[in-house]
Amino acid sequence: MSNPVVKVNNLSKRYRIGAAEKGYKTFRETIMEGISAPVRNFGRLRSLTKFKDGQEEDVIWALKDVSFEIDEGEVLGIIGRNGAGKTTLLKVLSRITEPTSGFAEIQGRVSSLLEVGTGFHPELTGRENIFLNGAILGMRKKEIERKFDEIVDFSGVKKFIDTPLKRYSSGMQVRLAFSVAAHLEPDILLVDEVLAVGDAEFQKKCLGKMEEVAKEGRTVLFVSHNMLSLQNLCTRGILLESGQISMDDSITNTIGKYLDLGRERSGEVCWASPEVAPGNERVRLKAVRVVSEDVVTAEVDISKEFRIEVDYWNLEADDRRFVSLFLHDSMGVCLLHSANFPSVSLVPDPWYTRPYPRGLFRTSCTIPGALLNDGPHSISVYIHATVNDNIIATRDILVFYVRDTGMMGKEYTDKWVGAMRPRLGWETNQLD
């Protein structure tokens, strides 16, 4: 007999386009804001139900009538493309964001790891944030103290545990945040794609810890673009499209439908103006496309080279720009990472050493034929000011297919195994 610990009923969340986000406040301001929250939240809920003439065009539904249940001990994967509503759903379940309509019933203690820094205060030290998070979860001081050394050892930030969190790198914040979320014995653990910020070794530790949490009978909701991790960790998957559930099935079937969504792509994604494009006041992304034989396409011949073009508006003069690309296979495994750096370019990019003026730019990369195996692939685009300064980071922004048209021979008729399928040099000699 099932025992649902999460019940979501017709959950919807609406945002007004262009609403500004607030920066973090001092600890005192946070406390004072909490005291006034009931009155402020009542006014906010009332305002959400009122629209002036024509104002409906200025809103977007991040979630629309989402309903599902999760049983105790179930490991659920939430899948969807960028903007599908995955993170918004976890924020609502974590009580970080208020729903516009509908409701969610949750039985048990919830611990969440969403975007970097969520649930932490930057002015407090790592040690203070551990105790603050434990108190928020309803744990006694002695319970937190019992877990403290284990949390710090797992996170690997022992040297900086008494340093204010605002001095931590994003990777350090993620390591500490996950360690706190996973070790303070939550009944329900919510984890977003934020794990991608950490290094490969720590990601492996995190997945192992989530498996351990699941085996202990706790419930896990996991949002990720890494299909291999989802396949290995989850038993069930929910696919979100434009804020609505389009599939709720086994994780294998859900991943299959998610990958098929790429067939509907045209080979290009673009934005009409900087105001609506991804980025910030420094750079905005205009378009990403796949070009084969001078034609924009979502399908490329396995034997032929193709080009990935990235168009972007540079809005800040006299600064340098770098573009890097990641190619992932259908299971989310990164096949290659390249950038317009001289060390990895066949021909040096003349703009590599030049400060950019304001204007529209295109950076392109050519992928040789007879390299990738057939099947769906996704492109992630990053634009940097320096190697460590990511201005734009877009994951799986475009999906394209590599098709086996028979041009590379028909000696082997089964599906070739492996992510790559290059032409290699083979030779046989008689030795005696």
List, for residues 184-203, the tens digit of each pLDDT value. Answer: 778 888 888 655 555 667 77
Q: Which residue has the higher pLDDT, 60 or 293?
A: 293
Helices (H), 156-306: 170-183, 200-215, 227-233, 251-260
Torsion of the alpha carbons at 98, 100, 105 and 109, rounded to the nearest 10: -10
Strand partners of residue 307: 291, 366
In the chain, CATH 2.70.50.60 sits at: 266-403
Superfamily of structural domain 4-108+187-261:
P-loop containing nucleotide triphosphate hydrolases (3.40.50.300)
**Strands 306-314 and 59-71, sheet pairing:** unpaired
- pLDDT tens digits, residue range 67-101? 999 998 899 999 988 778 898 898 899 888 899 99
Q: Could you say which of 2.70.50.60, 1.10.490.10, 3.30.43.10, 2.40.160.10 is the CATH number of the domain covering 266-403?
A: 2.70.50.60
DSSP 11: E
Tell me the two tokens of residue 185.
């014995």
- Please tell me the predicted confidence (pLDDT) of residue 56: 54
User: Can you name the residues that pair with 25 across neighbouring β-strands?
Assistant: none
Q: Looking at 59-73, 88-102, 199-213, 317-331, which range is the least confident one?
A: 199-213
Distance separating alpha carbons of residues 120 and 356, to the nearest angstrom: 37
**Pairing, β 4-16 against β 59-71:** antiparallel
Q: Check if the beta carbon of residue 398 is closer than 8 Å to that of residue 379.
A: yes
Round to whole Å and give the CA distance between 210 and 222: 9
Listed in order, the ranges of the chain carrying CATH 3.40.50.300 are 4-108+187-261
* Cβ neighbours around 381 below 10 Å, total: 23
Residue 281 contacts residue 315 (beta carbons within 8 Å): yes
Whether this model's pTM surpasses 0.85: no
